[in-house]
Amino acid sequence: MNLLLIAVAILLFFGLIVFILLFGESPRLRNGIVGKANRALTVYIPRWIIGTLKKILGPKNWNRLSHLWHYCFESRNPFLQIFFMILTSGSIYLFLKYGLPHIPGIYLHSTHLIIIPSQIVSLYLSYYMACTVDPGTITADNVQQYLDHFKYDGLLYQPKQCSTCRLEKPARSKHCSMCKACIGRLDHHCFWINRCVGVNNHRFFFIFLFTLVQFCAYGAYLCFQIYRGMIIEWGLDAAYVIDKKTGQHSPITFRKAFLHVLQKDRIIGAIGILATVVSLVVFLFFLYQLYLAGRGITTNEAFKWELIEDSIDRGELWLEEEKTATNDKDKVKKRMDGSKKRQRKVESLEELDNIYDEGFYRNLYNVFFPPRMKKAA
Ligand SMILES: [Zn+2]
Ligand SMILES: [Zn+2]
């Protein structure tokens, strides 16, 4: 089987899965085939697996497995961090052992011998920062600062207390059951860095994603150029194919020469393919994160906005108009049908304002230069 075809198929498959998981619940897609695939992946298949396992294992073993599941997937643990470190360090080691002897080469200048170590250092450093910087833990000491800075919009956020932390819940914050704390401007809990992505470490998360994308793209580029060099070194550029019937000589195509080298020297090829896949998948995620951050929405709020869109579709969202106030001071409240107060039905999402959206550049500025809050002790 053609190795390149397999690589492309793997690439498309992972891309599709990521797309389905990221966008399958969005109101526009959830009623179509993407939505169905999303429910299959997140609801039906897990339900089927759970049902089958319960039957096979019996109640005692099932309980043990649930505890293990809880530890692995529903509480903080370093598994994915270890996996990430093994995968990156292993690939780097193999590249240094098998790829580095080809540099400098026909297509690779000796400056790469300086770029490669600085790339490796920047990847580990950015990962270390993303894994260790406090995401913005809210404590009794700093809750007032958060309350002062993040105002309630009366739509996504209302004044409320966190039932676990027993503290006021500032707008844009959320309690993370894994980190066991409320996190300021929470984006999401990330298993790869084993902590939340919040107001204080969102920038490091972005820097890490960007570093990883360009690190993998650079790695894939190096592997490709090493192979191109091998084609020349092995004299494949001058090779030709003889047609058995006519006896005609025709030069070998680049694609054929490339595949020949790929099959003879598979380790660099495997690293190159892995780097390409990771680079593309993480790049998609990076773009999605950038898109949300640029619109002044966290991943958590994207979900909340979807719920709001849902209630608009069902005709259950009402705008409460203050009689004395001017139009721009409309107060928004979610109400069920039938309430007698003066209000009008919200017909579309455009009627609602995201007060946290200060424009693309300002929103990104807020992510990269967050407000200074007292740190958790
Ligand atoms: Zn809390
Ligand atoms: Zn968390």
Domain residue ranges of the chain, discontinuous segments joined by +:
9-75, 142-184
Residue 327: pLDDT over 70: no
Cα 144 to middle of ligand 1, angstroms: 14
pLDDT at residue 290 tops 90: yes
pLDDT category, 25, cuts 50, 70, 90? confident
Going by the DSSP 8-state scheme, the letter that residue 99 receives in this structure is I
The b/e string for 51-81 (b: 16+ C-beta within 10 A; e otherwise) is eeeeeeeeeeeeeeeeeeeeeeeeeeeeeeb
Q: Other CB atoms closer than 10 Å to residue 348's CB: what's the count?
A: 9
Q: Which ligand is nearest to the CA of 74?
A: 2
Taking only the tens place, the pLDDT of each residue in 85-124 is 999 999 999 999 999 999 999 899 999 999 999 999 999 9
Judge if pTM exceeds 0.85: no
| Of the candidate ranges 195-199, 302-306, 317-321, the one whose mean pLDDT is the lowest | 317-321
Contact call for residues 126 and 201 (beta carbons, < 8 A): no
Measured in angstroms, how far is the CA atom of residue 300 from the centroid of ligand 1?
15
Confidence of residue 264 (pLDDT cuts 50, 70, 90): confident
Region 41-60: mean pLDDT is 91
User: φ, ψ for residue 240 (rounded to 5)?
Assistant: -140, 165
pLDDT of amino acid 326: 44
Residue 203 CA: distances (Å) to CA of 39, 132, 210, 364:
32, 13, 11, 9
- What rounded mean pLDDT belongs to the chain? 89
How many whole angstroms separate alpha carbon 178 and alpha carbon 189? Answer: 8
pLDDT of residue 294: 96
Q: What is the pLDDT, as a whole number, of residue 2?
A: 72
pLDDT in tens, 137-186: 999 999 999 999 999 998 899 999 999 999 999 999 999 999 999 999 99
* E strand map for the chain: 174-176, 181-183, 188-190, 195-197, 240-242, 249-251, 317-320, 331-334, 343-345
Between the alpha carbon of residue 136 and those of residues 39, 54, 67, 127, the distances in Å are 33, 39, 29, 18
Give the closest ligand to the alpha carbon of residue 201: 2
Distance 160 CA to ligand 2 centre (A): 20
**How many Å lie between the centroid of ligand 2 and the Cα of residue 76?**
8
- The rounded Å distance from CA 198 to ligand 1 centre is 14
Task: State in Å: Cα 176 to ligand 2 middle.
Answer: 5
**What distance in Å separates the CA atoms of residue 86 and residue 81, rounded to the nearest whole number?**
9
Give the Å distance between the CA of 143 and the centre of ligand 1. Answer: 11
